């Protein structure tokens, strides 16, 4: 057969709960019409980790395939990789550069969240680059009828639910396959490869991927990507709100109220109740936020602003990826005039 060339790659991840049973799907399309599909699962990953694992599997397959005589790729032709995760696209094209300058740590000196997978993805990208193969990372909006994206979503969901699904496989002649096996055996004996993490590629015949431990560090990159603003909206959760004729208390009025409460013993019990109410409101907010993260729900900038008790513009001005309290906040995609965000719990 004539040598095949890569045309396009599609990747996607799925998670039932965040964390929860997860799966990933990858579809590699060749110029001659052949298709290679890959899939895998983990027991309790986050959605972001499954999105990353799908991209890692794609690059790992690309790297291994370049050693096969049946597959050739012109150095001048970038390999287009489509992902519906802005977290993955922005991470590997923008954020990784800043993290590497900081020793793969945040501005607070803590390891970057999902550091193990970012390391794998970066290592694979650099290896391919050394072979004159570049990846053209492109964002594709999910669930909009794109055939490649829809197929990867189908594979990822099937694996997340442990359901059988048939995957397309490319056909290689025996000589090329034997050459690939010899190349792999030889590479395992080199010191360079002993230092590089191996990337498992799951196909239906293989057993399920072992559950990877989630990075337990705080992820708070000091990055402000392009700012996109949305109409500001008054936050619904006001923990320190006091009354005034105009409906909003000034700092001076708040100070006077505090001084009055401290100088009048009769106000003591009422002030104590107010403090308890504020703490109760805070607890409710944190519980709601934790549930949003656990279920993997996407929320708008205005809804996120309500949780944080800030204006929507203060949310979008922070960039695409940042930390708030016990969660990392990632910009996932835009739907119409709304920016959708996802929360991910930072394990202590």
pLDDT per residue as tens digits for the range 93-111: 988 888 888 887 765 667 8
pLDDT value of residue 220 = 35
Helix (H) or strand (E) holding 58: helix 47-65
Helix (H) or strand (E) holding 322: strand 321-324
Give the three-class secondary structure for 82: strand
Chain-centre distance of CA 78, in angstroms? 24
- Is a pLDDT exceeding 60 seen at residue 236? no
Count of Cβ atoms closer than 10 Å to residue 8 Cβ = 16
Residues designated as active site:
12-13, 51, 84, 143, 153
Query: Which of the four pLDDT bands, split at 50, 70 and 90, describes residue 147?
Result: very high
% of the chain beyond a pLDDT of 70? 68
Dist. CA 47–CA 188, nearest whole Å: 31
Give the three-class secondary structure for 285: helix
Identify the CA nearest to 206 among candidates 239, 240, 164: 164
Dist. CA 344–CA 328, nearest whole Å: 5
Q: What value does the mean pLDDT of the chain take?
A: 75
pLDDT value of residue 344 = 83
pLDDT per residue as tens digits for the range 257-285: 544 444 445 455 656 668 888 888 888 88
pLDDT per residue as tens digits for the range 52-65: 999 999 999 999 98
- Is a pLDDT exceeding 70 seen at residue 348? no
Dist. CA 233–CA 253, nearest whole Å: 24
CATH architecture of 6-195: 2-Layer Sandwich (3.30)
Return the residue matching tokens 């032709």.
77
Chain-centre distance of CA 180, in angstroms? 32
Helix (H) or strand (E) holding 218: none
Angle between helices 268-295 and 301-308 (to 10 degrees): 140
pLDDT value of residue 347 = 56
Rg, the chain, Cα only: 25
pLDDT value of residue 68 = 76
What Å distances lie between residue 223 and 23, 54, 98, 227, CA to CA? 29, 25, 8, 11
Return the residue matching tokens 């909003």.
248
- Are 88 and 26 a contacting pair, CB within 8 Å? no
- Is a pLDDT exceeding 90 seen at residue 175? no
- Are 118 and 112 a contacting pair, CB within 8 Å? yes
pLDDT value of residue 112 = 84
pLDDT value of residue 207 = 37
All CATH 3.30.420.10 domain ranges in the chain, comma separated: 6-195
Report, as an integer, the average pLDDT of 64-74. Answer: 77
- Are 66 and 127 a contacting pair, CB within 8 Å? no
104: left (phi over 0), alpha (psi -120 to 50) or beta: left
pLDDT value of residue 270 = 59
Ranked by mean pLDDT, the top range of 118-127, 249-258, 278-287 is 118-127
Return the residue matching tokens 């492109």.
138
Angle made by CA atoms 116, 118, 123, in degrees to the nearest 5: 95
Report, as an integer, the average pLDDT of 26-44. Answer: 94
């Amino acid at each position: 057969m004539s040598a095949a060339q890569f045309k396009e790659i599609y990747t996607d991840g799925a998670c039932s709960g965040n964390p929860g049973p997860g799966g990933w799907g990858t579809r590699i399309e060749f110029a001659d019409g052949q298709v290679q599909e890959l899939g895998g699962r983990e027991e309790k990953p986050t959605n972001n980790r499954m999105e990353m694992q799908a991209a890692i599997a794609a690059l790992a397959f690309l790297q291994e395939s370049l050693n096969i005589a049946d597959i050739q790729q012109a150095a001048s032709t970038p390999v287009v990789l489509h992902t519906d995760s802005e977290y993955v696209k922005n991470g590997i094209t923008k954020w990784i550069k800043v993290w590497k300058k900081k020793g793969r740590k945040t501005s607070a000196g803590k390891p970057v969240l999902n550091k193990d997978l970012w390391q794998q993805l970066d290592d694979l990208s650099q290896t391919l680059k050394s072979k004159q193969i570049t990846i053209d990372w492109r964002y594709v909006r999910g669930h909009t009828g794109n055939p490649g994206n829809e197929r990867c979503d189908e594979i990822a969901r099937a694996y997340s639910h442990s359901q059988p699904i048939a995957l397309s496989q490319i056909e290689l002649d025996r000589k090329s396959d034997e050459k690939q096996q010899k190349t792999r055996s030889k590479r395992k004996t080199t010191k360079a490869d002993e230092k590089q993490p191996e990337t498992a590629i799951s196909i239906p015949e293989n057993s399920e991927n072992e559950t990877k431990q989630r990075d337990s560090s705080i992820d708070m990159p000091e990055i402000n990507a392009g700012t996109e603003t949305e109409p500001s909206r008054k936050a619904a959760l006001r923990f320190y709100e006091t009354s005034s004729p105009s409906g909003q208390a000034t700092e001076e009025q708040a100070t006077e109220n505090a001084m009055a409460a401290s100088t009048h013993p009769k106000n003591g019990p009422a002030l104590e109740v107010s403090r308890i109410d504020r703490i109760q409101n805070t607890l409710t907010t944190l519980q709601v936020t934790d549930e949003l993260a656990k279920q993997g729900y996407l929320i708008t900038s205005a809804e996120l602003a309500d949780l944080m008790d800030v204006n929507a513009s203060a949310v979008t001005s922070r960039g695409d990826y940042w930390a708030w309290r016990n969660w990392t906040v990632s910009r996932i995609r835009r739907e119409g005039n709304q920016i959708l965000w996802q929360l991910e719990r930072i394990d202590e």
